[in-house]
Amino acid sequence: ERAAAEAAPVTPGALADGTAIPLLANLGSSKGAAEAVELGAEGVGLFRTEFLFLSSKEAPTVEAQRAEYAQLLRAFAGKKVVVRVLDAGADKPLPFLNDAPEENPALGLRGIRALRVSEQILRDQLTALAQANEEAGADLWVMAPMIATVDETRYFTSLARELGIRVAGVMVEVPAVALLAERVLKHADFASIGTNDLTQYTMAADRLLGTVANLQDPWHPAVLKLIEQVGAAGAANGKPVGICGEAAADPLLAVVLVGLGATSLSMAPAALADVRFSLGRFTADDAKRIAQAALDADDAAGARAAARAAAGN
């Protein structure tokens, strides 16, 4: 099997008309890197750094982080690797970053908010990333989670550049930042949409709560409309817009996301093959038409059905 895979390398992600849509991997450690490459990942679209430090009581040193990041970046030398700075809080608590109990942790001091309060931890992480990539030579992009304002965007991207990061962007997970994407993207090199949190916050439905799971559906036209705004802002500013939430792993939704303006898709490596196949069935015009059908629906089930019909499935 391995020999067969090597004999026939997986083709890059593309639409039927040849439009390239790079297909990237979501990773939580460098252990999955080799498998991701075998499955055809063209790089990493989301490296969740907090998973490296979930059991740490103390903030990791620059040296310890540099070693971790170098392993990942070496595995993708010459390829794009999007690293997310620590997303502490809510479903991913880190004792050294946010220890205070909160009534509503998803709405609390998480992501960039926690890092800004403990700025030295953010500085150390950005420094470690820049140093690690000096030897590894990947195309390193770094982004911040839970950005909600233009001010946070400017804060993060200017600090990242000051510390030697060449490409600095923001995750779009909070509806406020999707609504102001046009202004946010003036200060960021790229946006990456985290559809898990964007859905949670758009629908006001806790992503960890089974009783409201029916609302935690990225097919909801309200979520799609926000994504469309980000896609349009990216196109207007010439800035890439990736998707790194679970939505990108749904083969038909992936086509819709591209129709809404996504320029790359990142997912669990196991999903890459099905998404690659699905994208190859449609042109950019098809994708726009299918996306419009989904946008015009009243709810998630309607959007799914409308997209299926428009896709001829």
Work out how close the CB of 196 gets to Mg ion at its nearest, in angstroms, rounded to a whole number: 5
Check residue 49 for interaction with ligand PEP (CB under 6 A).
no
Determine the angle formed by the axes of helices 251-259 and 300-311, rounding to 10 degrees.
90
Q: Record the tokens describing residue 274, joined without a space.
A: 């099905």
Check residue 194 for interaction with ligand PEP (CB under 6 A).
yes
Which one of Mg ion, ligand PEP, none is in contact with 245 (Cβ closer than 5 to 8 A by kind)? Answer: ligand PEP
Q: Is 103 labelled as part of a ligand binding site?
A: no
Check residue 245 for interaction with ligand PEP (CB under 6 A).
yes
Q: Is 197 labelled as part of a ligand binding site?
A: yes
Burial bucket for residue 91 (CB in 10 Å: 0-12, 13-18, 19+): middle
* Cβ(251)–Cβ(272) below 8 Å: no
* Cβ(182)–Cβ(237) below 8 Å: yes
Check residue 173 for interaction with ligand PEP (CB under 6 A).
yes
Q: Is 196 labelled as part of a ligand binding site?
A: yes
Q: Measure the CA angle with vertex 120, ends 186 and 177; round to 5°.
A: 30
244 assigned to active site: yes
Q: Which of 73, 114, 193, 244 is catalytic?
A: 244
Q: Which amino acid is at 249?
A: A
The region, left, alpha or beta by phi > 0 then psi within -120 to 50, assigned to residue 30 is alpha
Nearer to ligand PEP, 27 or 244 (CB): 244
Check residue 196 for interaction with ligand PEP (CB under 6 A).
yes
Which residue's beta carbon is nearest to the bound Mg ion? 197
Burial bucket for residue 238 (CB in 10 Å: 0-12, 13-18, 19+): exposed
Q: Is 26 labelled as part of a ligand binding site?
A: no
Check residue 111 for interaction with ligand PEP (CB under 6 A).
no
Q: Which residues are catalytic?
A: 244
Q: Which residues bind ligand PEP (CB under 6 A)?
A: 46, 48, 87, 173, 194-197, 244-245
Binding residues: 48, 84, 173, 196-197, 207
